[in-house]
A and B are shown apart, each in its own frame.
Chain A
């Protein structure tokens, strides 16, 4: 258990396969979302408490910083969801072969990024240019 084992963790030299990229992002997005739960509950509370607080929440997410936070959380949620669905597939033996596994990894990675990109674009169009 505590034997000396080879240790290699040069993050700049390690090139993860696509499945590895999706996997580490699955973990990172999960950690992000887990730590965000109290803040998200606070936002839910404000949004339901009164019309003024609802408007305040809306203004926050319409703003630059709030918008970035919102898009970041949306990416984390979507990536975690798609990567998670992929894992549920593995659980029932679906997509475990090398090629389908790589394909679904690419799909999960791209789908989250594309959806967030579309939402960001729509936001820009709606707000008339100011991010």
Chain B
């Protein structure tokens, strides 16, 4: 059976998994350095960091990369372990459920970040 979405989809996901990984691997150490540089870290300092537009944008991009990365990773796991003959529908349901959950998470993250003044 031909998989929905065409044969090149796996390559696209492979690339997206690398691209999101690289962004996160750069963001995390930089963020850690920023945190170490702003010690002692109390609420005012923590909140002040996220009040800047630069960190809002960089963090939202991080969340987007994280959610994309997580969705593709979970998809790999589902493909590997849920492969009985009648399981295609279950897999499809799981892809959809996590896509919905993660999309909601992305919108939520934007709200969390842009609530900081």
Contacts and interface: CB of A to CB of B under 8 A. Distances in A.
Contacts of A51: 43-44
B25 A81 contact: yes
A38 B25 contact: no
The number of chain B residues touching the other chain, given as a range, is: 20 to 34
A41 B108 contact: yes
Task: Label chain A's interface by main secondary structure.
Answer: helix
B105 A38 contact: yes
Given A38-B101, A85-B25, A88-B22, A48 B112 contact: yes
B99 interface: no
B73 A34 contact: yes
A119 interface: no
A44 B116 CA distance: 11
A9 B56 CA distance: 47
A69 interface: no
A45 B25 contact: no
Nearest to A78: B28
A44 B18 contact: no
A33 B70 contact: yes
A41 B47 CA distance: 15
B112 A44 contact: yes
